[in-house]
Amino acid sequence: MNLKNKLRQISKSWYFLISVIVVYLLLFVFKQESFFSSLDFFYKIILKIIPVFILVFILMTLTNYFITPQFVMKHLGEKGIKKWFFVIIGGILSSGPIYMWYPLLADLKDKGLNYGLIGCFLYNRAIKIPLIPIAVFYFGWKYILILSVVMIFMSVIQGILINKLIQIKK
């Protein structure tokens, strides 16, 4: 295999990493004060974020261990507001690519889950626990808390509207 083919096999993310390293090396050589200022900024961000990442990792590990598809199926059989609560929590805690959730959602639909609850679940997938530390760092706790509450509230409204619109269509 020649060099040209080997270079094509390298992922573009590696090119980005290499270019960042080159920029930092050039910065170190030609403008050391900016290099150390950037390094100090990076260090301070990491110190602020690491404890939250550890907490998020622990929470995700616990939820992945205790919340199984059987647990979800059991609790979606609840009546009234409990069902909405479980769909909201499920959407927030869900992880991975969305297309992996479609078979489970289709199965739940076949077992009686309505489109409004599916819409609510999908809406709440936008609230990502692992991204909260970064969002809080950039926007603050107040904003992220208000945004999350509004998204949850609007997911329920969206679910109710979907159910009403589907009933009108029938």
Query: pTM for the whole thing?
Result: 0.59
Instruction: Looking at the structure, tell me whether residues 86 and 170 fall in a common domain.
Output: yes
The whole-number average pLDDT for the span 148-169 is 92
Which one of 21, 51, 66 terminates a domain? 66
Instruction: Looking at the structure, tell me whether residues 59 and 107 fall in a common domain.
Output: no
Q: Is residue 106 part of a domain?
A: yes
CA distances from 170 to 107, 161, 167 (A): 22, 14, 5
Instruction: Looking at the structure, tell me whether residues 130 and 53 fall in a common domain.
Output: no
pLDDT in tens, 75-121: 666 667 888 998 898 888 887 778 778 877 887 787 778 899 999 99
Instruction: Looking at the structure, tell me whether residues 113 and 166 fall in a common domain.
Output: yes
Query: Which residue segment(s) compose the domain that 113 sits in?
Result: 67-170
Report the residue count for the chain: 170
pLDDT in tens, 24-71: 999 999 999 988 998 899 899 888 878 777 876 786 677 667 766 667
Closest CA to 95 of 55, 124, 66: 124
Q: Is residue 138 part of a domain?
A: yes
Contact 54, 47 (CB under 8 A): no
Q: Is residue 2 part of a domain?
A: no
Closest CA to 151 of 114, 109, 122, 108: 122
Q: How many distinct structural domains can be found in the chain?
A: 2
